[in-house]
Amino acid sequence: MAQVLLVDDDPDLITRNEAVLVTAGHTVSAVSRPDECLEFVRKHPPDVVVIEAVLQGTPAGLDLARSLSDMSPALPLIVLSDLNRYLSARELAAQDRDGWLPVSRFLEKPVSPEVLADEIDHVLAAAPSRRRPDPARCPE
């Protein structure tokens, strides 16, 4: 199946999602910080990345999604979010514009691991052939 990279700072959530994804036949790796994610993608490009929007209490996952999209435009990205707990309605509305987040799917949490596995299968089926990240576009 596919190499899936989970980016989340909640070890319990990683464990639940990993168990279902491995059962579905995927190979799963996990990191908890944006810098770890970028390094992993440079060295071991996955087939899909699942990113928690809020990492260490900030919306760092959104910036990470933008960096990954710049680095590897064909890489499917899924963002999991409960941003409504962290951003006001006005802040959320300010983000709601075309192209504000270059992801394949944006899923409002909670998302069951089974639904996540189904979404991964859908984005992989729709993804263009995978390209390696462009080293010239990789942030240091």
The domain locations on the chain are: 3-125
Asked whether 31 and 14 are in contact (CB, 8 A), the reply is: no
Examine the pLDDT at 119 and tell me if it is beyond 70.
yes
Q: What is the pLDDT of residue 93?
A: 64
State the pTM of this model. Answer: 0.84
Among 48-57, 99-108, 123-132, top mean pLDDT goes to 48-57
Q: What is the pLDDT of residue 84?
A: 65
pLDDT band at 131 (very low <50, low <70, confident <90, very high): very low
Superfamily of domain 3-125: Response regulator (3.40.50.2300)
Asked whether 71 and 139 are in contact (CB, 8 A), the reply is: yes
For 59-106, write each residue's pLDDT tens digit. 899 899 999 999 999 999 999 988 666 666 676 666 555 566 788 888
Cα distance between residue 51 and residue 90, in whole Å: 23
Q: From the CB of residue 17, how many other CB atoms can be counted at a distance below 10 Å? A: 25
